[in-house]
């Protein structure tokens, strides 16, 4: 009997308010054909509700990776980052900040708040697709995630 | 006191008046003195002439040996009162050769000896002396009203004699002369005053004109200064606004640009070959246009950041900067078989990042606008001591620049060649902005077919506009 490796699909939470960028990110992930489930929320308040499995998100899965834009309505991405990384339950989830800003202060503050990495969205599509691929490869294949992630080997 | 310091006219007037006052006082004193002695001399002569003459008619040498008393005294005294004492002459005394008072209007001192009296001795030595006194004798207070008294001592010399036999002391009133002196003094002062007023008037008009001219020039200069300052403020404000505008415009344009660019590329990938050939061509044009737009916006952003993201000027080793730039352009240099040579480069006050950018743009241009020969680029720096600056030159053997374009190439988005090949057109505009931020100038000399040399200056001390 061979070992059956059942890999549950990776859950990615994308926090992004620009629908154009949302679609682009989804398409880029599709190009790479890694099986995953992506949930999308459009602002910081929804993001926290999702992560805390509150209200309409009571059945929401715990994401293995969060991709976070900094400029969000209702609650700013920087605040969301801060809340995630200070929450004892949520802080283990890797947060990839994916944003248009190149500002030095943003980069510094983001790392100060313990983001796992900071990526500036490129203008070129090819570049973007490559970046998304490397995010997936690195965070979901190369690194070891903590055991409460959904990725399990049975 | 402030008006004294500021107003030339007032200063001049004050000096004039003070000087004239000093001169006037000085002259008055001097003149008075000389007028006085002249008057005194003439008065004395007059007194002596009158008294001596009359006395010598009645006196003999024998009379001068014995002090007068009794009847002799009374007779003589009456004679004196009658013919010598007047409104000019108060009294006389007669002295013997040995200092004995032979006659005086005060009988008490007749017979007294004063052989050591200074004036007496001088007179005996044939020197007429004058002593001016204010009378203060009890019983003679009225004499004060008549003015000052002068006492003239003159030797008594008889006609056949050559030696004085005695001394005559005449007390002469002075007042008429005092009036004379006062008159003369007034006359002198008056004429001096008039002269001074005329002189002052003439000088003041000159000074006044000069003063007005100076004032006017100062006013004009101040106005020009104000205008200049206002212009500077307005320009700075305009500059800042432009920079902000350029920055915001290019920064905010990134997002819609990204949408256009990314989705059209997605379209191209997803549907290439599935739509008709026209669609493929159309998509290709869109993709290309978006790419160029992106490049231009990035360059615009960079251009606007030259001023806003500039760092403070520090000493920078140009040789090191150049080496790093050459390293980062290694691929392009190798591909084009370039030769880059340099003279020793100095250390200058600069923003290192911007200097690198400047070097990079110039070298990239030299490669891009090459001729068919392999590009040869020579970089050098010369010290211009007179103007306190470094003159850098980047010489290439490229295709050169047409004369009509030479002034325009530093403008933003100016193109020499058609369309899209060879650069967006901001590179040299950025170069110029960087050089000007460092307080220098940039220009080019070029010949078609021979090559171009780009020159720029960097001042030795900090003279930049931040």
CA distances from B429 to B34, B93, B413, B422, B434 (A): 90, 116, 8, 15, 9
Residue with tokens 């720096």: B381
For B148, the token pair is: 């000052």
Q: Given phi > 0 = left and psi -120 to 50 = alpha, else beta, which region is B303? A: alpha
**In the structure, what pLDDT confidence band is assigned to residue A151 with cuts at 50, 70 and 90?**
very low
Q: pLDDT for B234-269, tens place per residue?
A: 988 887 787 778 777 777 888 888 888 888 888 888
DSSP label at residue A63: P
pLDDT confidence of residue B464: 46
pLDDT surpasses 60 at A6: no
Q: Would the CB atoms of B265 and A100 count as touching at under 8 Å?
A: no
Q: Provide long-range contacts, Cβ within 8 A and 24+ apart, for B199-205.
A: B200/B13, B200/B16, B200/B20, B203/B12, B203/B16, B204/B9, B204/B12, B204/B13, B204/B16
Residues A60, A18: Cα–Cα separation, whole Å: 22
pLDDT surpasses 70 at A5: no
pLDDT surpasses 80 at B31: no
pLDDT surpasses 90 at B132: no
Q: Would the CB atoms of B266 and A27 count as touching at under 8 Å?
A: yes
Closest by CA to B310, choosing from B433, B410, B461, B462, is B433
Q: Would the CB atoms of A123 and B265 count as touching at under 8 Å?
A: no
- When computed from its CA atoms, the radius of gyration of chain A, rounded to whole angstroms, is 15
Closest CA–CA distance from residue B437 to any residue of chain A (Å) = 23
Q: Would the CB atoms of B255 and A126 count as touching at under 8 Å?
A: no
The whole-number average pLDDT for the span B17-27 is 82
Residues B192, B6: Cα–Cα separation, whole Å: 30
pTM comes to 0.49
**ipTM, interface predicted TM-score of the complex:** 0.76
Q: Nearest residue on chain B to A21, judged by CA atoms?
A: B259
Residue with tokens 């980052």: A81
The whole-number average pLDDT for the span B87-107 is 87
Closest by CA to B172, choosing from B31, B45, B64, is B45
Q: Which of A20, A121, A125 is the closest to B265 by Cβ? A: A125
Q: Nearest residue on chain B to A19, judged by CA atoms?
A: B259
Q: pLDDT for B206-226, tens place per residue?
A: 888 888 888 899 999 999 999
Q: Does B256 touch chain A (CB under 8 A)?
A: no
Q: pLDDT for B150-179, tens place per residue?
A: 888 989 888 888 888 898 998 888 765 555
Closest by CA to A117, choosing from A143, A136, A98, A104, is A98
Q: Does B203 touch chain A (CB under 8 A)?
A: no
pLDDT surpasses 90 at A45: yes
Q: Nearest residue on chain A to B293, judged by CA atoms?
A: A123
DSSP label at residue B375: P
Q: pLDDT for B408-434, tens place per residue?
A: 888 876 665 544 455 557 889 899 999
| B95-130: b (≥16 Cβ within 10 Å) or e | bbbebbbbbbeeeeebeeeeeebebbbebbeeebbb
């Amino acid at each position: 009997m061979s070992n059956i490796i059942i890999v549950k699909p990776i859950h990615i939470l994308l926090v992004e308010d620009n629908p154009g960028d949302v679609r682009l990110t989804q398409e880029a992930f599709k190009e790479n054909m890694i099986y995953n489930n992506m949930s999308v929320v459009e602002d910081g308040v929804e993001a926290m509700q999702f992560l805390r499995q509150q209200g309409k998100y009571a059945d929401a899965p715990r994401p293995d990776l969060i991709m976070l834009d900094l400029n969000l309505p209702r609650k700013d991405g920087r605040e969301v980052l801060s809340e995630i990384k200070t929450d004892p339950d949520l802080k283990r989830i890797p947060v990839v900040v994916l944003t248009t800003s190149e500002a030095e202060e943003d980069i510094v503050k983001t790392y100060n708040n313990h983001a796992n990495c900071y990526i500036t969205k490129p203008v070129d599509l090819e570049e973007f697709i490559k970046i998304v691929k490397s995010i997936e490869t690195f965070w979901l294949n190369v690194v070891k995630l903590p055991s409460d992630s959904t990725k399990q080997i049975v | 006191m402030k008006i004294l310091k500021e107003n030339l006219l007032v200063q001049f007037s004050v000096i004039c008046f003070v000087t004239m006052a000093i001169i006037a006082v000085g002259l008055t004193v001097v003149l008075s003195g000389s007028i006085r002695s002249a008057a005194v001399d003439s008065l004395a002569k007059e007194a002596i002439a009158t008294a001596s003459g009359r006395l010598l008619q009645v006196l003999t040498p024998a009379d001068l040996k014995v002090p007068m008393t009794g009847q002799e005294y009374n007779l003589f005294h009456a004679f004196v009162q009658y013919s010598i004492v007047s409104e000019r002459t108060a009294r006389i005394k007669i002295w013997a050769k040995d200092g004995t008072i032979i006659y005086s209007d005060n009988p008490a001192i007749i017979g007294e000896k004063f052989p050591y009296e200074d004036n007496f001795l001088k007179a005996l030595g044939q020197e007429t002396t004058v002593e001016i006194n204010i009378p203060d004798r009890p019983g003679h207070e009225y004499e004060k009203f008549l003015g000052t008294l002068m006492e003239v001592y003159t030797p008594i010399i008889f006609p056949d004699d050559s030696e004085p036999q005695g001394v005559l002391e005449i007390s002469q009133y002075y007042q008429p002369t005092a009036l004379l002196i006062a008159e003369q003094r007034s006359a002198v002062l008056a004429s001096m005053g008039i002269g001074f007023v005329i002189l002052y008037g003439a000088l003041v008009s000159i000074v006044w004109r000069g003063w007005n001219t100076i004032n006017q020039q100062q006013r004009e200069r101040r106005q020009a200064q104000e205008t200049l300052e206002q212009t500077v403020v307005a320009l700075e404000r305009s500059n800042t606004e432009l920079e902000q505008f350029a920055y915001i415009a290019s920064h905010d344009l990134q997002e819609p640009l990204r949408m256009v660019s990314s989705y059209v590329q997605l379209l191209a990938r997803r549907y290439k070959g599935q739509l008709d050939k026209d669609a493929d061509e159309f998509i290709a044009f869109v993709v290309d246009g978006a790419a160029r737009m992106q490049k231009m916006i990035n360059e615009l952003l960079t251009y606007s950041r030259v001023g806003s993201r500039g760092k403070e000027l520090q000493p920078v080793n140009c040789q090191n900067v150049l080496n790093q730039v050459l390293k980062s352009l290694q691929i392009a240099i190798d591909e084009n078989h370039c030769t880059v040579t340099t003279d020793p480069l100095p250390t200058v006050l600069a923003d290192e990042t911007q200097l690198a950018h400047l070097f990079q743009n110039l070298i990239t241009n030299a490669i891009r606008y090459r001729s068919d020969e392999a590009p040869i680029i020579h970089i050098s720096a010369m010290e211009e001591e007179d103007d306190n600056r470094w003159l850098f030159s980047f010489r290439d053997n490229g295709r050169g620049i047409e004369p009509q374009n030479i002034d325009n190439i530093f403008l933003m988005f100016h193109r020499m060649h058609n369309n899209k090949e060879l650069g967006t057109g901001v590179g040299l505009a950025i170069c110029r902005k960087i050089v000007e931020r460092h307080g220098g100038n940039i220009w080019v000399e070029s010949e078609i077919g021979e090559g171009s040399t780009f020159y720029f200056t960097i001042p030795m001390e900090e003279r930049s506009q931040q």
